Amino acid sequence: MKAGQLLGERYELVRELGRGGFGVVWEARDLRLGRSVAVKTLRHRGPDSANDIRRMVREVEILARLSHPNIVVVLDQGEAEDEPDRVSYLVMELLDGPTLAHVIATEPPDLARSLAWGRQLCTALGAAHAAQVIHRDVKPENIMLTGPGWEVVKVLDFGIAQIGDNLDPLTTTGSVIGSTRYLAPERWSGGPGTVRSDLYALGCVLYELFTGNRPFTSTSQVGLMNQHLAHHPPRPAWLPAELGELLLALLAKDPADRPADADEVRRRLARTVEGIRELRRRADAAWEASGDDRASDAVGRLRELVPEFARAFGRYDGRTLRTAHDLAVSLDRAGRTAEAYCLLAELLPAAVSALGAQHPDVADIERRLSRFSRPAQPCAQGLLAALLAG
């Protein structure tokens, strides 16, 4: 097939977007409605083509029953001649953004955006599960971002999804179907997909999204299988504690130990978001107190907040270090200048290491330090570490 070719006397191929074992995806122009669409094409050729075509038909059936803003929309299907073969095609909405896999590999998002995307993934999977559809291939490559600022998540590629009790010939028990990096332990023995096997795959995706690293990294199939069956990835210490615990719960080896459904995962992500907002509200209130001649009160509040930020975001996250900086400023305003100097002196190299020498927060610390005279008594060591540990 080539650009300019017409399918079904309606869809003019514009450019190839991607290809794989399951066919070629094109950008096309719907001449009837005057809009751009995505067209997945599959040739009637090769030993597996008959099964692939049945899977395409299955994908149409599944997407037609899933009407959700976070699931790709199917628009049409058909067949066309492309000598010497026939071609089946599936028409879907054209998505203008990258895959989640591309974003993670090139520009990992911040925690707030990752949490927003994670909640959208949960709502999409929850809608599919409510319609008795198990995706069975949840992975970053099957998640696309679209809309202004890539704010909207779209789940796609339901070609190997399972409907209901898995009794159809395309999804028979005993064959391992899915991407091995995201495959639940019970699926490695050929067991059918379930809500909780999809949630395990979601856990792998979220772990990668929130940390930038996959939870299971072996380069061989046997190694991956052993890791999925027996290896427990560490809880990322720099993430909010509740979020880290959720990731490990999703990756539990026993399905019964995982969250019950996607809505429970969404609610727990929402609690993490609210916890972060509450920390920020308390930090803002403490800073305001420091500027309202209540510096001593601010010192007490910020001493409590710094270790909480450390547990929520990590000891050397910018938000944690900024809160420690605010504490130093409040100490100075409360007349405790030597303590303020000593804390800033320890904070500066930590901030340079974590944020980089050119970061505005580092420049702020340097400016404040330059205004102090060195205390007569040497600074005690380990002030920052003790503060971060609470």
Active site residues: 137
The 10 Å CB-count burial string (b at 16+, else e) for 372-388 is: eeeeeeebeeebbeebb
Contacts of 147 (CB under 8 A, 6+ apart): 97
319: nearest Cα among 289, 258, 275: 275
Instruction: Report yes or no: 140 and 99 within 8 Å, Cβ to Cβ.
Output: yes
116: nearest Cα among 273, 313, 264: 273
Instruction: Report yes or no: 197 and 186 within 8 Å, Cβ to Cβ.
Output: yes
Q: Report the amino acid identity of residue 219.
A: T
Distance of alpha carbon 351 from alpha carbon 348, whole angstroms: 5
Distance of alpha carbon 128 from alpha carbon 130, whole angstroms: 5
Which tokens sit at 315?
Answer: 């000891």
Which tokens sit at 131?
Answer: 């319609």
Instruction: Report yes or no: 272 and 308 within 8 Å, Cβ to Cβ.
Output: no
Distance of alpha carbon 276 from alpha carbon 19, whole angstroms: 41
Neighbours of 254 (CB within 10 A): 9
Distance of alpha carbon 43 from alpha carbon 309, whole angstroms: 55
